[in-house]
A and B are shown apart, each in its own frame.
Chain A
């Protein structure tokens, strides 16, 4: 008797029992080595951006540039200067590998034309910690999802380059995710092209911050945004209020279009990949 489910289950149990892996410490070590290899591409990117003068060196000084507190009369100052940049030349092969990696990079995302990866923007991390990069592939007219990824790092390390694996979910008017460490919080995502600004509502009674959407061009159905907020303290301390609680997409007139929550509340900003 060949019972498909039953025998698949039996094989799975046998593999779980007999299989031998090198363990979590070895996985972490291997992951670090891989990050270092990929970080070479980030270094090339940083060098190219600096040479092009697209990101002023003053923006890489200690502390970096904070976001401006939101007010109707204040023009957001961040991202201060941004580059649209296409990697070329052998020195930047690592950036291309990062973008086109078929197992976890944009190459793993199903959508758009293969090989049509675009770097939407590159910007500095505060305190000379390196650069961030946002890349995407223009969707085909019939597609409802969008393949995009965000990475940040420096010559030694690369953090959190995550693309959708498989088919991306249908586009929404506002999507975001957040990560961070003891020195910074990074919030990135995309927003409807109707929005001129994105307001970050912070926890602990701190004033909100506004940032401009990054113009992605006519081939993309949405614009993107990235906020790098200098931060002191642990990331996601359960005893403390969430550093960024909520996002609001705003028209140029200041009227809200939509909002979502990053603190676990509803509606979620839904950035998981």
Chain B
């Protein structure tokens, strides 16, 4: 019923970018790998139709974001039990500032993280972020403002975070 033609090239061309976008959302590289791979698995099931989309990558990103939300709820429950025993979060090799930013992002609610990533990393306009998250543009602006403020509280140079356009 399904044909995989073109899926491999699509995967190869987008997996790295999606991993990069999901890392700041999940806060953990293994978790980002897991949700991205699962989103691609679901994309493969829909590939005969998705390949006709203008931007099939956007569909995979949305599914990965939804999966990240679902998994964070489950992980939060597990985390309470593993808080003192669990291994340190997986962080890729990056500058001290970037690692600090990742740690600060982890403390934000999932919705704020998703809005920040979609707007500041994926470069989606406010209206598109709103459509993706299924909320109003005003709510996106509020999420971004609160997210920036929370990041500024946790990071050393508040000015640069608060003034991000």
Which chain A residues have a beta carbon within 8 Å of chain B's beta carbons? 1-5, 7-28, 30-32, 34-35, 102-104, 108-110, 153, 157-162, 165-167, 177, 179, 181, 235-236, 272-273
Contacts and interface: CB of A to CB of B under 8 A. Distances in A.
Given A12-B24, A179-B49, A167 B37 contact: no
Contacts of B133: 166
Contacts of A20: 33
Contact of B101 (A7, A32, A102, A159): A7
Contacts of B45: 31-32, 34-35, 158-159
17 contacts: A2-B97, A3-B160, A11-B20, A11-B101, A17-B16, A17-B92, A19-B19, A19-B20, A19-B36, A24-B8, A27-B37, A27-B40, A28-B7, A31-B40, A102-B66, A103-B42, A103-B67
B20 A15 contact: yes
B101 A166 contact: no
Contacts of A14: 20, 23, 92-94, 98
Contacts of A17: 16, 92-93
A165 B101 contact: no
A18 B29 contact: yes
B contacts with A: majority SS: helix
Given A12-B24, A159-B1, A21 B49 contact: no
Given A8-B101, A28-B44, A162-B46, A2 B92 contact: no
A165 B1 contact: no
Given A24-B40, A157-B1, A159-B2, A15 B29 contact: yes
A28 B10 CA distance: 12
Contacts of B116: 4, 8
Contacts of A7: 95, 97-98, 101
Contact of A24 (B12, B32, B117): B12
Contacts of A158: 1, 45
B161 interface: yes
Contact of A11 (B12, B17, B98): B98
Given A2-B100, A3-B160, A27-B37, A160 B92 contact: no
Nearest to B94: A14
A160 B46 contact: yes
A177 B50 CA distance: 11
Contacts of A1: 97, 157, 160
Give 4 nearest A-B pairs by CB, closest first. Answer: A12-B20, A110-B134, A16-B16, A31-B44
A245 to B, nearest CB: 15
Contact of A12 (B21, B43, B134, B164): B21
Contact of B121 (A5, A24, A162): A5
A18 to B, nearest CB: 4
B49 A160 contact: yes
Interface in B94-145: 94-95, 97-98, 100-102, 116-117, 120-121, 130-135
A256 to B, nearest CB: 26
B79 interface: no
B133 to A, nearest CB: 6
A4 B151 contact: yes
A8 B66 contact: no
Nearest to B4: A28
Contact of B23 (A5, A15, A34): A15
Given A16-B19, A18-B29, A104-B63, A4 B43 contact: no
A34 B49 contact: no
